[in-house]
Structures are given as structure tokens and as C-alpha cells.
A and B are shown apart, each in its own frame.
Chain A
């Protein structure tokens, strides 16, 4: 009986430790955002079931960009490789320090004939004021706000609380998905991994 109790105890401790280890968030916030970053704490790493698959045609979409135009994924077909960077929400810790990094490596995207599309489920005014803190971005930022998270839903990365996963999709010039990284929402995806995938498109 005591032995059964001990195993239960070990299992409980293990569960607690593992849950916390998995949920640990890590970020460094730029002073560019001052005290305006909302910290949601550590979140469930992944909270959706991805529908899109590597090797399949990427679901097409048209979304409004912060700059005013509408952008369709299909407009790049036959012309450019496309990287979709979904991030969960404006004004949150990891998201705020992800796109500014991509902003200084335009040459790496150009070298692989790729464009980058940043997408969140926030509305345009929110995205406008948030991305203004990042400096001038060279890539379009798209709003998947209404119908809410429709594109994230299409790709199967809309979380149960209505934000998108932190996810990267690499789509080749034929419109085929070549790489999917639905990342732990609490952590930034590796730049090196993304560039390595772009190198494979040659």
C-alpha cells in the first residue's frame, strides 16, 4: 500500500516538473516597447491540430495588409517562394521580438528568392501601432482579424483562445508547402532552421 502511495507521489512530482518545464517561457524584451508589453505568462505550448501538410498545395487566402493593400498568397505563384510567419498576438513578449529580427535579414530572404508575410489575428489599427515600434518593416504584415482567424483556421493553427500559433510555413514557387514549424508558443523559432529550409528550395 505504501509502495503504491510512493509511486503515485513520484508520478505526481514528475507531472508537475514536466508541465512546468514544458511551459517555461523565455524572452528578452526590447526597450522599444517600454512598459507596453502584456505578459500572458507561460502558455500551453501548442493548442491546435495543424491541418496543412508538407507536400500539399498551400490553402490560398487574401488578407488586408497594414500598408493598405490586399495581399493574396496566389499572387506569388510562379514568382517567389513565400514564408508565412504567424505570431499569436501584438504587444506580447515573444512576438514583439521575432519580426524585428527578420527585419534585418531581408538579404537572406532575397538570396533565396523568398518573400515574408507576417500574419496575426489582430486588427489593422493594433498591428499598425505595434509594428511602428519595430522600425520600418520591409515585409507586409497581414491582419487575419475578420472573419476572425479564418486563415489560421484554414491552416489548422487557431488556438482555442482565438489567437494563432507561433508557426512558420515555407511555400515554394509552385505553391506547395515545403516546411511547417508549429512552434512552442512560448519560444521564438530558430532563424537558422528557417534559413536552412530556404536553402533546400534551390
Chain B
């Protein structure tokens, strides 16, 4: 009897642990949904009636490296617009990257927007383990609540078209 109890307990433990690591991880951010709590590694900025664009990247990812100058152009365009500058925040989260590695990436590509390190993949797992680069657009409402309006794998292509899409999909003025 005791043996059976032990057997069941070990099986349950295995299922819970394996489930957490392979089969039952979180899903990718869904358009229309909300962001999971990513603290303590990252807190969602809250520009009132604004937008947060999050790039999930890794300094070890060739496409993220290739995309870096394009993302910088996006940031520069936002900063150059008196209207969008206060409404759109751009941030990057380096998944599986230590602070040191994020800093290497920042210096290599002269990145001026905030980058966060997710060295132990905690944020990556909470976001459903996306491949990189991955972009998430979040609209922040006036009451502080938020809604995901964009969630997509891969480079975003033309900067102007992407920025226009962010404005259109989020509905910011």
C-alpha cells in the first residue's frame, strides 16, 4: 500500500515538473489579451493613452543582430515625432542574456532605448518561449489597464509602414 502511494506521488511529481518544462508552458501573447506579470525582471511602462512596443531579442540571435539597426531607426522616428515621442515607449528584453550580454548588444548597435536582461529565461517562459526577434504591441488605456494589439514573430520590415501600423492598430491619436 505504501509502495503504491509512493509510486503515485512520484508520478504526480514527475508530471508536474515535466509539464512545467515542456508541455504546459505559457502561450504566446494573444492580440486582444493582456500581458502576463513579468515582474520582477520587467514592469510594463504605463504611458497614459499610449503604446509600449516590446522587442524580445537575444544577442545570440542572427536575425536580432540584423534587425538591430532597423529597430534603432524605429526608435529615432518615434523620438523625432513631437506627437509620438510622449506616447510610444520602445523597450527590449534580452531572453537568455545576462546583463553583461545585453550590454554587449547595446554597445555593439548603439541602442538608446531601454533593454532588460532575462538571463534565466523566466520572462521568456512566461511569454510562451517565442523565437526571436518577436514584437509585442501593448495599448495602455487611460485607466491604467492595457490590451495587446500586436504579437508577431520576425523582423517588422519597413520602419514607416510598421510605425503607421502601430498607430493604426492601437488607435492612438
B13–A13 CB distance below 8 A: yes
A31–B63 CB distance below 8 A: yes
Chain B nearest CB, measured from A1 CB (Å): 9
Which of A5, A28, A191 interacts with B2 by CB under 8 Å? A5
A30–B60 CB distance below 8 A: yes
Which of B6, B64, B98, B105 interacts with A8 by CB under 8 Å? B6
Q: Does A104 contact B (CB under 8 A)?
A: yes
Chain A nearest CB, measured from B64 CB (Å): 7
A13–B10 CB distance below 8 A: yes
* Chain B 94-105 interface 0/1 with A at a Cβ cutoff of 8 Å (1 = within): 011010110011
Which of A5, A8, A28, A31 interacts with B153 by CB under 8 Å? A31
A192–B101 CB distance below 8 A: yes
Interface of B is mostly: helix
Docked pose: A73 CA to B121 CA in angstroms: 36
Interface residues on A, range: 35 or more
Which of A16, A42, A104, A134 interacts with B108 by CB under 8 Å? A104
Chain B residue at smallest Cβ distance from A135: B62
**Known contacts A30-B61, A31-B154, A97-B61: A12-B6 contact under CB 8 Å:** yes
A2–B124 CB distance below 8 A: no
B60–A98 CB distance below 8 A: yes
Chain B residue at smallest Cβ distance from A42: B21
B65–A100 CB distance below 8 A: yes
Can you sample 7 A-B contacts with CB below 8 Å? A13-B9, A17-B13, A26-B96, A28-B58, A28-B95, A31-B131, A104-B108
